[in-house]
Amino acid sequence: MDQSSITPNTSNQQLVINGDNESATALLNEKQGRKRDSLRDVTFIEFMTVGILCYVNLINYMDRFTLAGVLGDVKNEFNIGDDYAGFLQTVFVVAYMVFAPIFGYLGDRYSRRKIMAFGVALWSLTTFVGSYIPDFAWFAVFRGLVGIGEASYSTIAPTIISDLFVGNVRSKMLAFFYFAIPVG
């Protein structure tokens, strides 16, 4: 295969599966033409998109560390020791680590909005249902499912911001997005 005919996959371009490089290049040029390179050029919808993504990221990190704040209550509720209490965070982290690259791969090939919506729905539902689980084993399973949901969001949301903006504006919007980590 001639290497010069391969179009590189950027964050603004869908993966070319059928070898239709001309259509992919046209799509990339169209998207880049619509991008804003100054904060004054950013539309209300784009600001709202970033604002919502930042708010969900804030809630994401608040949720991630909530268990540490109520760990004593969790230990009492399930009558477990420090080893099993630590296992809950391990389950979350392992699920997150395993599924984050998978969601990154899927995000390059399929609709990022749908993947992120699925992840946020999974995360929200499992967080809610997990609050009412009376059995430790099932509670641990739901902590793992929360990790899977958060992995989808944390992997996909920055790419959506990167698709909306270029240059300096992209850097500022991503900085705003990542500011939620220490705040949350």
Residue 128 CB coordination number (10 Å):
10
At 30, is the secondary structure helix, strand, or coil?
Answer: helix
Identify which of 28, 61, 27 has the alpha carbon closest to the alpha carbon of residue 157: 61
- Does pLDDT of 28 surpass 80? no
Residue 111 CB coordination number (10 Å):
13
The pLDDT confidence band at residue 77, using thresholds 50, 70 and 90, is very high
139-180 residue pLDDT tens = 999 999 999 999 999 999 999 999 888 888 899 999 989 987
| Residue 92: inside a domain | yes
pLDDT at 115: 93
| Residue 122: inside a domain | yes
- Does pLDDT of 64 surpass 80? yes
| Residue 64: inside a domain | yes
4-24 residue pLDDT tens = 554 444 544 444 444 444 545
Q: How many domains are contained in the chain?
A: 1
Percentage of residues in the chain having pLDDT higher than 70: 79
pLDDT at 85: 93
Say how far apart CA 154 and CA 126 lie, in whole Å. 17
Mean pLDDT of the region 59-75 = 89
| Residue 54: inside a domain | yes
The pLDDT confidence band at residue 25, using thresholds 50, 70 and 90, is low
CATH code of 89's domain: 1.20.1250.20
Give 69 or 97, the one with higher predicted confidence: 97
Give 35 or 6, the one with higher predicted confidence: 35
Quote the domain boundaries for residue 56. 43-183
In the chain, the DSSP E strands lie at none
| Residue 167: inside a domain | yes
Residue 182 CB coordination number (10 Å):
7
91-138 residue pLDDT tens = 999 999 999 999 999 999 999 999 999 999 999 999 999 989 999 999
| Residue 16: inside a domain | no
Mean pLDDT, all residues of the chain: 83
36-50 residue pLDDT tens = 566 777 889 998 999
- Whether pTM > 0.85 for this model: the answer is no
